[in-house]
Structure 1
Amino acid sequence: MYRRGHWGVSLLVFAPVGLALVLAGRPDLAVVGGGAMLWLSTLPDVDHRLPVVSHRGPTHTLAFAVLVGAVGAGAGVGLASVLGGDRTTFVAFGFGIGTLGILAHLLADALTPAGVPLLWPLSSRDYSVSLTRADDALANYVLLAVGVCATAAAGVVALRVA
């Protein structure tokens, strides 16, 4: 997928998480998490700029998602020390958002015929549902619209419940 498609899938995946955070009394984490999801949405495509890493290679795997989650956990430690609060909550939040951000990217790319090597280095098999091509502009805009609508719906529910 292209950037807009990745943004849309990230918003779609995060909408229920953001809603849960708001309902749990943490709208601050919902906002930070949503921003982090959008920021991470294209991180795996850094492989386009790395000369020794093939596109949809190691950065498009579950291992990379866990690695980014670990970095997010480290950021959670820093966030807890700056903002104060329960360190465990911030570490779990950082890990969860880091991992989920990459998983959303992988989900979007799995919609394309090329798929993603989820289990690399254990397996080189590419996983794909072959729903649309990555360069399909309409599909990318539809994914963005669905993500925005899911986020808006979560916001409406949060306002009505809270």
Structure 2
Amino acid sequence: MYRTGHYGVSLLLYAPVLAVLLAIGRSSAALAGLLGVLALARVPDWDHRIPGVTHRGSTHTLAFAWLVGALLAAAALSLPGVAPGARIPLAALALFVGTYGITAHLVADALTPSGVALFWPLTANRYSLSLTTASNRLANTLLLALGVFATAVAVALPFQF
């Protein structure tokens, strides 16, 4: 997918999480998660810039998603000035957002015929829904519109648990 498609899928997949966090009164976590997922939306495609790393290779796997989540959680645990009681919840949010953000990218790329090797290095099998090409501007734009709409609904609806 292109940038717009990746942002759209990230928004779409995060919208239910956003709604739940807002409903339980965790607006700071909801906003941090939203910004984090959007910031990570394009990270796997940095493989274009790394010599010797193939596109949709190791950076487009669930192992990479877990690695990013673990690195963000470790960084959250070592932040200065964070109260000891807040470190674990912050690290848990970082782990979730890192893993979820990268996984959203994988979902977007799985919509294309090229697919992704989700379970590399265990297997090189690629998974694809073959719904649209990555370069389809209409599909990318529709995904962005759907993601923005889902996010707006998550924010606007007064969910209560």
Asked if these proteins are the same fold (TM beyond 0.5), I'd say yes
Deviation at 1:73, TM superposition (A): 0.7
Q: How does 1:58-77 map to 2 (within 5 A)?
A: 58-77=58-77
Structure 1: distance between partners of 2:8 and 2:122: 30
Distance 2:17 2:76 in 1: 17
Q: Aligned equivalents of 2:67 and 2:160: distance in 1?
A: 35
* 1:82 alignment partner in structure 2: 81
SS at match of 1:86: helix
How far did residue 83 of structure 1 move? 4.2
In the alignment, what sits opposite 1:114? 114
Match runs of 1:9-158 below 5 Å: 9-79=9-79, 81-84=80-83, 85-158=85-158
Compute the displacement of 1:20 (Å).
1.3
Gaps of 5+ in 1: none
Instruction: Give deviations 1:75-131, integer Å, cap 9, x for gaps.
Output: 32245x534342221111000000000000000000000000001011011100000
Higher helix share: 1
The alignment partner of 1:122 has SS state of: coil
List gaps (5 residues or longer) in structure 2: none
Number of matched residues?
A: 160
Give 3-state SS (helix, strand or coil) of 1:123's partner: coil
TM-score if structure 1 supplies the norm length?
0.94
Q: Percent identity?
A: 52
